[in-house]
Amino acid sequence: MHSIIYPRTGDTQTVYLNAVLHNPNLIVGDYTFYNDSVHDPREFEKRNVLYHYPINKDRLIIGKFCSIACGAKFLFNSANHTLKSLSTYPFPLFFEAWDLKREEVASAWDQKGDIRIGHDVWIGYEALILSGVTIGNGAIIGTRAVVTHDVAPYTIVGGVPAREIRKRFDAATISRLEQIQWWNWPIEQIQAHLPQLRAGEIDALMTNQ
């Protein structure tokens, strides 16, 4: 975990995300950053992680080297009024008023699971990721997309609801990137291979492992 909050000198709009989170159910890898030009990015946990009630114990898991743009939000299970009931009104949430048991509170909403974001994912401006969604490594989430279903690795999605626009690379290149997992290399190795990484030279990365 980073002890440094701000990656760039003089830039207080960008933070290493795992340096500003406190909730143990928010798990973020190294070098993942969040940029916010409207609010203090250190308030990510309060402003961007929504309906994340402790009673659920659901998790937000984000990998390494992700880029999260201003206003991107993660909407958790407690926002989902249950569809099992004949009414959408969350009676168990107001258990005292309706003489229900406190332990029944979580039955007011449907449980869809954790939100899982892979490594090297770019989440665009004001995108919304819903509970239960898994986003694969290297994916790109377009501006103001609403992601309701899983996104495959190295896939670009956009729209409401988000749909696939295209793959970033051909299937062979995606398979090789998933194999080498450069984000798990020692930092010195990543530093040494930045020219090949930035230039898209997958053959050089494979050769120099």
- pTM of this structure: 0.94
> Using alpha carbons only, how large is the chain's radius of gyration in Å?
19
Distances (CA, A) of 92 to 51, 57, 104, 111, 148: 16, 18, 6, 15, 25
- Active site residue ranges: 81
E strand or H helix at 177, and its extent? Answer: helix 171-180
pLDDT value for 63: 98
What is the mean pLDDT for each group of 10 consecutive residues in the chain (209 residues)? Answer: 87 97 97 97 97 92 98 95 94 95 91 96 98 98 98 98 98 96 96 94 80
Q: Domains of the chain (ranges plus CATH)?
A: 14-75+113-168 (2.160.10.10), 170-209 (no CATH)
